[in-house]
C-alpha cells in the first residue's frame, strides 16, 4: 500500500452493466474489483460492497475517493457509501470538476463521466491526437485533436447488446458466445451470428476509425479499453493499444487535478 506521503485513492466507475473499483497507491494501481451493476442499490449495500472490495485488496480506508457514474439513480448511494468509507468528501465527475481538457462538445454536461475519464487518461498517457474506443454496454469513441481538445465522439450499441437484441427480437435465433468464427461466411446459425456480431463490430470500428482519420486529417493513435478489448484489437486493420485500466487512471488523474 501507500508509502511515505503517497495516498491511497479509491476510484469507482459505475457503468450500465459492470462497476469497477480501482485502488491507487500514489499513482500506481494497486488492485481492482468488479461487480455487476444492479438496477437498484441502497447506500448500505454500496457500503458493504466497498468493505468487501477493500477487504479483498487488503487495504485500509482510502484517503480520498472519486466516482464516475452513468446511472443517475446510483450516484447518491455510491456517493454516500464513499463518504462513509474514505477520509475525505468524495469527488463526483460532472459539471464543475476541473478536467484540464478543452471541451468542444455542444453541451459538455451531456458527456458521460466515464468518457471524460477516458479522455483525460488517454491525453496524459498517449498524447494528442488520440482516439479511445471504450467497449461496454455501448461502444464509445472519444476523439482528441492535435491541440489536445475533446472534439466529440461516437456512441453505438455495444457488441453484447447487439447479440442480446438479435436473440430477443428473432424467435429462432439463440444467444451466442461472443468470439470470432473461423470464417466470415457462417455455415450454421451460430457462426453466422458470430460473424455478423463480432466480425461486424470489428468492421464497424475500422470503418469509423477511417472516417475519424479523414475528419482529423491524420491517423491518430487508437486506444481500446473495456470488455473484450484484446479480442477486438486482434481483428482490426488499425493498430490499437489495449489499456484495461484507462478509465480508472483517468479518475485518479481527475482526483489529483482537483486537490489544488
pLDDT in tens, 101-111: 999 999 999 99
Question: Which of 92, 120, 154 corresponds to the end of one domain?
Answer: 92
Q: How far is CA 237 from the centre of its chain?
A: 22
- Domain extent, residue 233, equals 108-249
Across the range 48-76, mean pLDDT stands at 92
Give the Å distances, CA to CA, from 29 to 56, 94, 117, 128, 247.
Answer: 15, 23, 15, 23, 12
User: How do 150-157 and 222-226 pair as beta strands?
Assistant: unpaired
Give the Å distances, CA to CA, from 99 to 95, 102, 113, 165, 253.
Answer: 10, 8, 11, 36, 9
Across the range 208-232, mean pLDDT stands at 97
194 phi and psi angles, rounded to 5 deg: -60, -40
Same domain, 149 and 181: yes
Residues sharing a CB contact under 8 Å with residue 161, sequence separation 6 or more, in sequence order: 137, 138
Percent of the chain with pLDDT over 90: 83
Task: Compute the mean pLDDT over every residue in the chain, rounded to the nearest whole number.
Answer: 93
Same domain, 65 and 159: no
Across the range 31-42, mean pLDDT stands at 94
Question: Which of 92, 125, 154 corresponds to the end of one domain?
Answer: 92
In whole angstroms, what is the distance from residue 226 CA to residue 139 CA?
Answer: 9
From the candidates 106, 107, 114, 227, which is the catalytic residue?
A: 114
Residue 5 has pLDDT above 70, yes or no: no
CA torsion 5-34-132-255 (nearest 10°) is -30
Residues sharing a CB contact under 8 Å with residue 209, sequence separation 6 or more, in sequence order: 131, 133, 222, 236, 238
Reduced to 3 states (helix: H, G, I; strand: E, B; else coil), residue 187 is coil
pLDDT band at 3 (very low <50, low <70, confident <90, very high): very low
Across the range 170-193, mean pLDDT stands at 91
Render pLDDT for 155-164 as a digit per residue (tens, 0 to 9): 999 999 988 8
Predicted pLDDT at 6 = 63
Same domain, 51 and 77: yes
Render pLDDT for 104-139 as a digit per residue (tens, 0 to 9): 999 999 999 999 999 999 999 999 999 999 999 999
| Other Cβ atoms within 10 Å of 253 Cβ, number | 21
Same domain, 182 and 215: yes
Q: What sign does the dihedral 44-72-105-239 (CA atoms) show?
A: positive
Quote the number of domains for the chain.
2
The CATH number given to whatever domain includes residue 170 is 3.30.420.40
Residues sharing a CB contact under 8 Å with residue 48, sequence separation 6 or more, in sequence order: none
Residues sharing a CB contact under 8 Å with residue 102, sequence separation 6 or more, in sequence order: 147, 148, 149, 150
pLDDT band at 234 (very low <50, low <70, confident <90, very high): very high
Percent of the chain with pLDDT over 70: 97
Is 13 marked active-site? no
Residues sharing a CB contact under 8 Å with residue 27, sequence separation 6 or more, in sequence order: 252
Residue 2 has pLDDT above 60, yes or no: no
Same domain, 63 and 140: no
Same domain, 122 and 177: yes
pLDDT band at 58 (very low <50, low <70, confident <90, very high): confident
Neighbouring C-alpha atoms within 13 Å toward the C-beta of 101: 34
pLDDT band at 69 (very low <50, low <70, confident <90, very high): very high
8 Å CB contact between 237 and 204:
no
Neighbouring C-alpha atoms within 13 Å toward the C-beta of 25: 12
Question: Which of 59, 92, 125 corresponds to the end of one domain?
Answer: 92
User: How do 241-242 and 222-226 pair as beta strands?
Assistant: parallel
Residue in 256, 250, 13, 26 with CA at minimum distance from that of residue 150:
250
Residue 65 forms part of a structural domain: yes
Same domain, 37 and 84: yes
Same domain, 80 and 127: no
Residue 254 forms part of a structural domain: no
pLDDT band at 187 (very low <50, low <70, confident <90, very high): very high
Cell of 72: 443517475
* Cross-strand pairs, 118: none
Amino acid at each position: 500500500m501507500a508509502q511515505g506521503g503517497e495516498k491511497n485513492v479509491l476510484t469507482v466507475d459505475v457503468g450500465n452493466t459492470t462497476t469497477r473499483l480501482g485502488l491507487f497507491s500514489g499513482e500506481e494501481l494497486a488492485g481492482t474489483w468488479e461487480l455487476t451493476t444492479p438496477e437498484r442499490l441502497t447506500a448500505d449495500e454500496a457500503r458493504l460492497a466497498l468493505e468487501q472490495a477493500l477487504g479483498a485488496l487488503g487495504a485500509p480506508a482510502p484517503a480520498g475517493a472519486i466516482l464516475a457514474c452513468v446511472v443517475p439513480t446510483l450516484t447518491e448511494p455510491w456517493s454516500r457509501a464513499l463518504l462513509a468509507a474514505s477520509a475525505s468528501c468524495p469527488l463526483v465527475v460532472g459539471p464543475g470538476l476541473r478536467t484540464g481538457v478543452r471541451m468542444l462538445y455542444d453541451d459538455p454536461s451531456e458527456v458521460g463521466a466515464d468518457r471524460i475519464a477516458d479522455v483525460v487518461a488517454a491525453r496524459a498517457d498517449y498524447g494528442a491526437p488520440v482516439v479511445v474506443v471504450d467497449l461496454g454496454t455501448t461502444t464509445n469513441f472519444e476523439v482528441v485533436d492535435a491541440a489536445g481538445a475533446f472534439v466529440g465522439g461516437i456512441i453505438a450499441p455495444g457488441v453484447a447488446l447487439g447479440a442480446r437484441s438479435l436473440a430477443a427480437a428473432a424467435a429462432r435465433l439463440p444467444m451466442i458466445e461472443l468470439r470470432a468464427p473461423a470464417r466470415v461466411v457462417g455455415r450454421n446459425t451460430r457462426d453466422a451470428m458470430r460473424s455478423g456480431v463480432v466480425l461486424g463490430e470489428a468492421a464497424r470500428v475500422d470503418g469509423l476509425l477511417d472516417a475519424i482519420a479523414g475528419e482529423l486529417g491524420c491517423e491518430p493513435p487508437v486506444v481500446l479499453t473495456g470488455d473484450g478489448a484484446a479480442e477486438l484489437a486482434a481483428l482490426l486493420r488499425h493498430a490499437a493499444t489495449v489499456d484495461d485500466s484507462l478509465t480508472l487512471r483517468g479518475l485518479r488523474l481527475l482526483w489529483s487535478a482537483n486537490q489544488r
